[in-house]
Amino acid sequence: MKIIMLGAPGAGKGTQAKMIAEKYQIPHVSTGDIFRANIKNGTELGMEAKKYMDQGLLVPDELTVKILLDRVAQEDCKNGYVLDGFPRTIPQAEVLDKALTELGEKIDYAINVDVPDENIVKRMSGRRACLSCGATYHIEHIPPRQEGVCDGCGQSLVLRDDDKPETVQNRLKVYHDQTQPLIDFYTAKGVLRTVDGTVDMKDVFEAIVSILS
C-alpha cells in the first residue's frame, strides 16, 4: 500500500502519516528525514543534495526523487510506505509518477486532510513552544498548567515566528499556489480521497482507516 499525504501546513497530515505507518506496519517516509540520513551517512546522493542545501538552494526534483526511490527500494518498504512532504508540486508528482511506472509500481492512495485556512491560522497561532526543552503546547487544546510557563522545565513559552498569523497566511498562499493542483492531479488518476481534518484527530484517523480498508 503506497500512500501520499496531502494537506496544508498545520492540517495534521504528519501526525496521521505516523499513525497510518504504525497501524499498517509500513515506514513513514519524510523527505526531510531521508535527506538528513543521507547527508549524515555521507552517501553519494546525500553529498550531491548537500551542495545545493549549503548554497540555500532547493534540491532539484530529479535528485529528490532519486533519494526517495533509493529509500523506498529498501526491504522495509516492500509492503508499502506513507510519503509525507513529497510531492509538493506538479513537476515533482510527474517525476515520481514516471519513476514508479518504470518500476511497474504506482501510488495507491493520495489522502487529502482538508482543513479551511481560517482553522489552520487559529490552530497554529495557538501553538506555544519552549525553546529550552523543546516541549510544545496549545493554548486551547494542550495548555500548560501555568499560562506562558513550560510544565517540564519552567522556562517561558513563546509563539514561534513560523506560527505567527501573517507567516501562516504566507505559507498557506504558497501551499495553494503550488500544492493544491496536486489534488486535481491525483483526482484525475482516481486515487484521491479527502477526509475532514477539522474533527478530532482520532476521528480523522478512523476516516482514513475506513478508506484504506
Point out the residues that are catalytic. Answer: 13, 88, 127, 160, 171
Residue 128: Cβ-neighbour burial (10 angstroms; 0-12, 13-18, 19+): buried
Q: Which residue has the cell 501551499?
A: 175
Neighbours of 39 (CB within 10 A): 17
Distance CA 122, CA 165 (A): 8
* SS3 of residue 35 by DSSP: helix
